[in-house]
Amino acid sequence: MSTNNYILNLLNIKDENIHIITECKEKMIKRKNYKIIEGILTYTPEYCPCCGVANQSTNDIIKWGFRKNCIVKIPKQGNCLTRLILHKQRFFCKHCNNTFIAETNLVDRNKNISNNTNHQIRLELMEKQSEKDIAKRMDVSVSVIDRILNEISSHTVLRHPTLPKSMNWDEFKATKDTKGKMAFIITDNVNGNLFDITGSRKSRDLEKYFRRYSKQERDKVKHISIDFYSGYIYLAKKLFKNADISIDRFHIIIQAYNSLNSTRVRLCKKDNPNYNKLKDYWKLIVKNEKDLSEEKHYSKHFHKEISQKEIVQYLINTDLTLKTNYECYQGLINSLKEKNFNKFKAIIFNQNKNLSPKMKQALKLYRENIKYIENSFKYDINNGIIEGINNLIKCIKRIAFGYRKFDHFISRIFLIKGIIKG
């Protein structure tokens, strides 16, 4: 291998028309240390790009000096920022009297960021890290990263030909430029993969989205799990004739959980002698009673050794509403856990007057959606799937410090999940 090829290889430059002409120099520019490599780009063109004439001899096209000092950003070598100063051959066509500049696949015309760097940035975007960090490491401006994300977004038409047979619909707070404040997320309940995300959860937009699939394709959907949202239920019934609708278990539990918790918060008043206990032991109150420990430990609030079970018993006996709510909540979460629909039904139809208004409201919501809740007991969906995706979204949002553009946000999610390739 010649020295030239050796250096090109080292720099991962595939174009053999580039000839390195000087040894690598190190230079400080704006307090950053750079490796500077100088090279020329030259070859014999096959034809004139202006008039198309074939280049057969020096009577057609001749070399005509250089466009000097084109600076090309190439990926870091080791830990050092690297620049290639490229002198590009200029040609003159005797047929049309035009000049043109030699081209290379290393860098697009009129650009100074090498395609290698571009590619590297795309790979970096697939990792969980902020765009600012990528820009810093690749020594490009954030707007370069923005531009690349624009390119990816515009080329990403994530259109699956078929719909999942069982899917989950959910929503999350999106970026500022989205139509509605919430984005809509569809997951495949079978393989747990993210299926798609759209910028609006409005019925009109969702209907348009799903109507791109033929009726035949929509009729193949067997199951849709959703939150208690009448808009979703209406839409699911309208567009998916053969699908069973169920409320996912997370969203069932959260209703009773919030009702129980708000009763506790209402009791957390400074003049309540149990204020500190209610405040500090809230986790024990919402925990499944079967998981409470009976082991005694010293408690600074009780000034004695006491078990978790005893603490909860003490606290719920200080208030009748709290006690009634607590028993209702425990019954509900355990009937879900044991997959005992009859037990669940018995609880929500037993209208105890001592329940808090909020818990009564939750039970009413359950009764109104009893059909869909019954399906939740039939379909066993792994809650981990939904949680996993929600965690990913949170994680990306956190590292990105809030995206301004929804398209960019979505592109990153898909890149990181490996659904699209940079």
Stretch that binds Zn ion, among 38-46, 49-57, 125-133, 287-295 (CB under 5 A): 49-57
Please identify, among the stretches 88-96, 176-184, 224-232, 349-357, the one whose residues bind Zn ion according to the rule CB under 5 A.
88-96
Beta bridge partners of 70: 86
Q: Could you say whether residue 90 binds Zn ion (CB under 5 A)?
A: no
Q: How far apart are CA 409 and CA 403, in angstroms?
A: 6
Report the residue number, 91 or 240, with the smaller CB distance to Zn ion.
Answer: 91
Q: What would you measure as the largest C-alpha separation in the chain, in angstroms?
A: 104
**Exactly one of 7, 41, 93, 311 binds Zn ion (CB under 5 A); which one?**
93
Q: How far is the CB of 64 from Zn ion (least distance, A)?
A: 12
Instruction: Note whether 202 and 180 are within 8 A (CB).
Output: yes
Query: In 232-332, where do the E strands start and end?
Result: 244-247, 297-299, 304-306
Determine if 419 is a binding residue for Zn ion (CB under 5 A): no
Single-letter code of the amino acid located at 417: K
- The nearest distance, CB 403 to Zn ion, in angstroms, is 48
* 50 touching Zn ion, by CB under 5 A: yes
CA angle 208/391/417 to nearest 5° reads 65
C-alpha to C-alpha distance for 332 and 64, rounded to whole angstroms = 84
User: Does 96 interact with Zn ion (rule: CB under 5 A)?
Assistant: yes
- Contact segment (CB under 5 A) with Zn ion among 48-56, 125-133, 341-349, 407-415 equals 48-56
Distance CA(260)–CA(292), nearest Å, equals 17
Q: Distance between CA 365 and CA 59 in Å, rounded?
A: 87
Under rule CB under 5 A, residue 179 binds Zn ion: no
Sole binder of Zn ion in the list 51, 123, 265, 320 (CB under 5 A): 51
Q: What's the burial of 30, exposed, middle or buried (CB within 10 Å: 0-12/13-18/19+)?
A: exposed
> Segment contacting Zn ion (CB under 5 A): 68-76, 87-95, 334-342, 388-396?
87-95
54 is a contact residue toward Zn ion (CB under 5 A): no
Report the candidate in 309, 274, 280 with the shortest Cα–Cα distance to residue 294.
Answer: 309
- Residue 48 binds Zn ion (CB under 5 A): yes
Rounded Cα–Cα distance for residues 269 and 14 (Å) = 72
Near Zn ion in 309-338, by CB under 5 A: none
Q: Which is nearer to Zn ion, 47 or 341 (CB)?
A: 47
67 lines the binding site for Zn ion (CB under 5 A): no
Binding residues for Zn ion, rule CB under 5 A, total: 6
Choices 44-52, 190-198, 343-351, 405-413 (CB under 5 A): range interacting with Zn ion: 44-52
Dihedral of alpha carbons 295, 298, 300, 302, sign = positive
What does the alpha-carbon distance between residue 122 and residue 145 come to, in Å, rounded to a whole number? 9
Q: In the complex, what is the shortest distance from the CB of residue 109 to Zn ion, in angstroms, rounded to a whole number?
A: 17
* Binding of Zn ion by 399 (CB under 5 A): no
> Both tokens of residue 364?
């009413």
Q: How many CB atoms lie within 10 A of CB 34?
A: 16
194 binds Zn ion (CB under 5 A): no
**What residues are paired with 171 via a beta bridge?**
184
If binding is defined by CB under 5 A, does position 95 make contact with Zn ion?
Answer: yes
- Asked if 68 contacts 116 with a C-beta cutoff of 8 angstroms, the reply is no
Nearer to Zn ion, 19 or 95 (CB): 95
CB of 183 to Zn ion, least distance (A): 53
In whole angstroms, the minimum distance from the beta carbon of 70 to Zn ion comes to 23
Does 45 help bind Zn ion (rule: CB under 5 A)?
Answer: no
- Residues forming contacts to Zn ion in the complex (CB under 5 A) are 48, 50-51, 93, 95-96
